[in-house]
Amino acid sequence: MEMLFVLLFCICFANLIPAQDVPGFISIDCGAAEPTDSDIGLSYKTDEGFIHSGQKGQVAPEYNNQKSLQLRTLRSFPDGVRNCYTLRPNQSSSNRYLIRASFFYGNYDGLSQTPVFGLYIDVNYWTTVTWNDTFEEVVYTTSRDYVHVCLVKTGSGIPYISALELRTLDNSTYNTMFRALENIWRFNVGSSIRYRYPEDVYDRIWVPIEFVWNTINTTDVSTLRNRNNPYKVPAEVLMTAQEQSNSSLQGMEVSWTSRTPSSKWYAFMHFAEVRVLPEGQARQLQVYVNGDISVANFTPQYLEPVTISTSSPFDGTNLSFSILSASNFSAFINAVEIFRAIDLPTSQTDLNNVNAMNDIMKEYGVFRGIWQGDPCAPWNFIWRGLTCSQDNSPKITSLNMSSSGLTGAIVTSFSNLTSLEILDLSFNELSGPLPEFLASMPKLRILNLGHNNLSGLIPEALIRKNLTDNAFRLSLDGNPNLCVACTPAPSPSDGGNKKKNSVPAIVGVASAIFVLAVISVIVGFCIKRKRRQGGNVSSNTGEVAFGKHESKEATKSSSQETSSKDSSIVYDYGTLKIMNKNRTFTSVEVSAITNNFKVILGEGGFGNVYLGTLKEGTRVAVKVLSPSSRQGYKEFRAEAQLLMMVHHKNLVSLVGYCDEVENLCLIYEFMSNGDLRQHLAEHSTDALSWIMRLQVGTDAALGLEYLHNGCTPPIVHRDLKTTNILLNDKMQAKISDFGLSRAFATDMDSHISTRPAGTPGYLDPEFHMTGNLNTKSDVYSFGVIMLELITGRPAIIRDTRGSTHIVHWVNPFIGRGDIQSILDPRIWGQFDINSAWKFVEIALQCVRSTATQRPDMSSVLSELKECLAIQTRYTMRQAMESGDTTSGSFEMTSLEINVAPRSR
């Protein structure tokens, strides 16, 4: 009888009301080929545009007439771990929504096996779908203009979804301290009819239930309807109620148990008096949860809807709500909704970052089905190619879109990723100019745009940043149409004049030498030729140190003149840097800087090195030539001369000098992290990781390669060792004390002019035979440094059996292929074996006893970069793999009352 009624009712409706789009509703028939109309008068869209992954599916024929049209198709997600629908409701009126996801398996895949998978609302776990015919519903409050509903593989079966519905609620309703409430039940008490849209303007599904009590009703539906409250419970639902059959009993109670006692519960109970009571009399009701927690004490008025809700959540294993009567009439209830709060511990990615990423995806038309849901959260579903900060509102810190088939211009949306430190867009087909904003991204330190088709001038700001910001790395290789701008940087002659103007202020003999040094740079002492330019350049493998010169002649010509040439434009970075950076200081200033020579950083052959602080707060190291040291004067002057010529981010740089007759000093950048030896020392607690060691090695190789190949004639360092490799606050390595040994002994040995340059353990064995020192001698020393990096041991290892040179110590292990014994135990477990082996191989080539058999620094450098790349890939892979475990950790609530699946 009742069934017939329902059936008739539905048919009538389908005939009377044409299906429509309701404002504030989003209705999606997942996997449908075309929009469908539902039997309740709503039209359902296909899921096109809401999701970009998954496959359409259809239930097996025997299920076709069981359920509504919307449940006959579905979308399944065999690929990817997390797949997300994006819903964009209108935000004008409210930001609270009812979101319902329906699942009707219907053996669509012929496997007859109900899949189990996770459901997420935005970035947080919502529930686990375990039934083959069910729906999940949440009341959700968002501050964004979109909501993601994500299906997550948990290991048992392929996630699927049949329908997805969003209904905008009045946001004065369902107010709790939680942003997400999972609906557990919604009962239409005392009825046998199920209601939803159109009776319910929010399309809540009211399930009919008749408890053991007496059913009562009213027929005055229209009065109920006119007097509704913001919850807008349908009059059809409120018109029936149940009351206690025996008014001498005090109350009615509904109880249930939860297996997760920590869950927080909320009850929303709807009352409207439907019984006509004697004039002047009313029922007084007391509402409690969990037996004795009072919720309300009130008197419902005739046909006047009232909603009573718990203002704070209740919890426990045994849960209940009860309605007691405080009058002579029995207690009653018309409708009830029970919710469980969903914790939302994870926060969404910063909105500006999200918008920028969406723009980027749209502009380039890439990663659509791959980059889904929130970019950074939760951390185990972070988008491929991204790393993010871990703070309250995660931001993207690195973005790798290398080899992604990007075409077109570099879009401005990148500039909104304000926390970006690393941007890799290499190996794409990006074209057009290099946008200026790249230079003003506040945190950017690695920008790789290599191997694209970019064209035009490199913005001056970017070049300047590349020059002045030591932590910034720029790669533009492989963009043949890109040319270095001839900026209004000081042309050589301008710079020269400036220096000359200051000459009168400089007193003494030494000053002339300094000026000379500056000029000699301009004439082109350190020249870096661009690789394979004009076909006449030899072995250079690449890393353009600073300054690109077509030829010596070009260096002399003004920048104006050369700017008209395209890719072979001359840009003398070295000159620019010297003019900008070196300053002269008076002895009074030096005293002020060093606070009267207060803190000694170290002692050298020339005299002491003091800590200083410039006016603008920059810390510096001040090397002072002690007046008594006549011997040192020549060497000191020469070091100054050399320092002015060589400028490279991996060579300790000169900030200024003082050159008064009795006061000679050199002022260097301060390297706050000391020297490399300290960091490798046995007792060092914060041992460098393998990837850091590779980075330090590469940095040092860059500096040395520059001395060898960027200067004409090449500069031989002659005293390379781990104590001469210094580390700044960013752990960037720089070679120090270079060039000294070209003409003189080292700092330490400078008193004994007859001693050969170098330090035992690092000295080229061939030198003993030929007395000849050349760039290959540096390569030998560098090989020893590499062995120190990987073993953590000093160049000369002293133990109970005496002392062993590191090369002899390593050799026996190599023969046995025993890399474990070579490696510093402090880096076990963090390295890629291939990068370690490759590194050892390069080191061994460097320490060959015959100089001609050793590689030159440019090939050492490129091999080292390869090691670093291998290790970087390994480290990233590790990070990604460790983030891939999603199974097993989901909380599940099992309710005794909920053991039967709900169905429509």
Ligand X SMILES: *[C@@H]1O[C@H](CO)[C@@H](O)[C@H](O)[C@H]1NC(C)=O
Q: Which residues belong to the active site?
A: 719
Distance CA 785, CA 699 (A): 13
Mask: binding to ligand X, 2-21, rule CB under 6 A, as x and -?
A: -------------------x
Closest CA to 798 of 809, 785, 812: 809
Q: Is the bond into 713 cis (omega within 30 degrees of 0)? A: yes
- Minimum distance of ligand X from residue 75's CB (angstroms): 16
Q: Which stretch binds ligand X (CB under 6 A): 463-471, 507-515, 611-619, 691-699?
A: 463-471
Q: Which is nearer to ligand X, 416 or 858 (CB)?
A: 416
Q: Which is nearer to ligand X, 474 or 867 (CB)?
A: 474
Q: Which is nearer to ligand X, 50 or 606 (CB)?
A: 50
Distance CA 151, CA 84 (A): 6
Residue numbers 309-338 binding ligand X by CB under 6 A: 317-318
| Residue among 32, 545, 579, 666 that touches ligand X (CB under 6 A) | 545
**Is there a binding annotation on residue 500?**
no
622 binds ligand X, rule: CB under 6 A: no
202 binds ligand X, rule: CB under 6 A: no
CA atoms within 13 A of residue 319's CA, in its CB half-sphere: 23
260 binds ligand X, rule: CB under 6 A: no
Do the bridges between strand 583-584 and strand 654-660 make them parallel or antiparallel, or are there none, so unpaired? parallel
469 binds ligand X, rule: CB under 6 A: no
Q: Which amino acid is at 464?
A: R
Q: Which is nearer to ligand X, 327 or 352 (CB)?
A: 352
Q: Which stretch binds ligand X (CB under 6 A): 329-337, 409-417, 583-591, 796-804?
A: 409-417
Q: Which is nearer to ligand X, 63 or 837 (CB)?
A: 63
Q: Which is nearer to ligand X, 1 or 509 (CB)?
A: 1
Distance CA 777, CA 774 (A): 5
Helix, coil or strand: residue 335? strand
| Residue among 246, 501, 536, 800 that touches ligand X (CB under 6 A) | 246
| Residue among 18, 23, 535, 888 that touches ligand X (CB under 6 A) | 23
732 binds ligand X, rule: CB under 6 A: no
- Minimum distance of ligand X from residue 248's CB (angstroms): 4
- Minimum distance of ligand X from residue 503's CB (angstroms): 29
446 binds ligand X, rule: CB under 6 A: no
- Largest alpha-carbon pair distance within the chain? 123
Q: Which amino acid is at 873?
A: R
356 binds ligand X, rule: CB under 6 A: yes
Distance CA 427, CA 101 (A): 41
90 binds ligand X, rule: CB under 6 A: yes
CA atoms within 13 A of residue 287's CA, in its CB half-sphere: 21
Q: Which stretch binds ligand X (CB under 6 A): 342-350, 374-382, 544-552, 633-641?
A: 544-552
134 binds ligand X, rule: CB under 6 A: no
Does residue 781 contact residue 741 with C-beta atoms inside 8 Å?
A: no
C-alpha pair distances (Å), 730 with each of 179, 223, 446, 470, 472: 42, 74, 13, 9, 11
| Residue among 72, 649, 679, 718 that touches ligand X (CB under 6 A) | 649
| Residue among 231, 364, 546, 831 that touches ligand X (CB under 6 A) | 546
Q: Which stretch binds ligand X (CB under 6 A): 100-108, 228-236, 265-273, 495-503?
A: 100-108
C-alpha pair distances (Å), 86 with each of 89, 150, 168, 718, 822: 10, 9, 15, 63, 53
104 binds ligand X, rule: CB under 6 A: yes
Beta strands in 159-310 (DSSP E): 160-161, 163-169, 180-189, 207-209, 214-217, 240-243, 251-257, 265-271, 285-289, 293-298, 306-309
Does residue 25 contact residue 42 with C-beta atoms inside 8 Å?
A: yes
CA atoms within 13 A of residue 720's CA, in its CB half-sphere: 29
Q: Which is nearer to ligand X, 315 or 589 (CB)?
A: 315
Distance CA 595, CA 720 (A): 32
Does residue 412 contact residue 363 with C-beta atoms inside 8 Å?
A: no
Q: Which stretch binds ligand X (CB under 6 A): 90-98, 557-565, 709-717, 723-731?
A: 90-98
Q: For CA atoms 199, 200, 204, 206, give the dihedral sign.
A: negative
Number of residues in the chain: 904
CB atoms within 10 A of CB 658: 23
Q: What share of the chain is helix, strand, coil (3-state, %, to 5)?
A: 30, 25, 45
CA angle 632, 637, 639 (to 5 degrees): 95
C-alpha pair distances (Å), 646 with each of 88, 371, 541, 578, 586: 58, 46, 19, 9, 24
- Take residue 871 and report the two structure tokens written for it: 């290790």
Q: Which is nearer to ligand X, 171 or 402 (CB)?
A: 171
Closest CA to 506 of 580, 587, 574: 587
Q: Which is nearer to ligand X, 194 or 838 (CB)?
A: 194
267 binds ligand X, rule: CB under 6 A: no
- Interface with ligand X (CB under 6 A), residue total 42
| Residue among 84, 289, 474, 807 that touches ligand X (CB under 6 A) | 474
Closest CA to 638 of 520, 495, 524: 520
| Residue among 15, 65, 226, 248 that touches ligand X (CB under 6 A) | 248
DSSP letters for 523-555: T-SS--BPTTGGG---S--S---S-BBS-HHHH
Q: Which is nearer to ligand X, 171 or 804 (CB)?
A: 171
- Minimum distance of ligand X from residue 245's CB (angstroms): 7
Q: Is the bond into 198 cis (omega within 30 degrees of 0)? A: yes
514 binds ligand X, rule: CB under 6 A: no
Q: Which stretch binds ligand X (CB under 6 A): 102-110, 119-127, 222-230, 682-690?
A: 102-110
CB atoms within 10 A of CB 701: 27
CA angle 684, 685, 687 (to 5 degrees): 75
Residue numbers 114-133 binding ligand X by CB under 6 A: 114, 132-133
Q: Which stretch binds ligand X (CB under 6 A): 88-96, 263-271, 587-595, 745-753?
A: 88-96
171 binds ligand X, rule: CB under 6 A: yes
285 binds ligand X, rule: CB under 6 A: no
Distance CA 788, CA 676 (A): 10
| Residue among 105, 266, 271, 782 that touches ligand X (CB under 6 A) | 105
Residue numbers 749-778 binding ligand X by CB under 6 A: none
| Residue among 86, 107, 533, 893 that touches ligand X (CB under 6 A) | 107
Q: Which is nearer to ligand X, 413 or 559 (CB)?
A: 413
- Minimum distance of ligand X from residue 411's CB (angstroms): 7
Q: Which is nearer to ligand X, 356 or 401 (CB)?
A: 356
404 binds ligand X, rule: CB under 6 A: no
Q: Is the bond into 855 cis (omega within 30 degrees of 0)? A: no
| Residue among 176, 188, 416, 746 that touches ligand X (CB under 6 A) | 416
476 binds ligand X, rule: CB under 6 A: yes
| Residue among 214, 217, 290, 591 that touches ligand X (CB under 6 A) | 217
CB atoms within 10 A of CB 894: 11
- Minimum distance of ligand X from residue 517's CB (angstroms): 21
359 binds ligand X, rule: CB under 6 A: yes
- Minimum distance of ligand X from residue 883's CB (angstroms): 28
Binding residues for ATP: 623
Binding residues: 623
Residues found near ligand X in the complex (CB under 6 A)? 21, 23-24, 26, 63, 89-91, 94-95, 104-107, 114, 132-133, 171-172, 217, 240, 246, 248-249, 317-318, 352, 356, 359, 412-413, 416, 463, 466-467, 474, 476, 543-546, 649
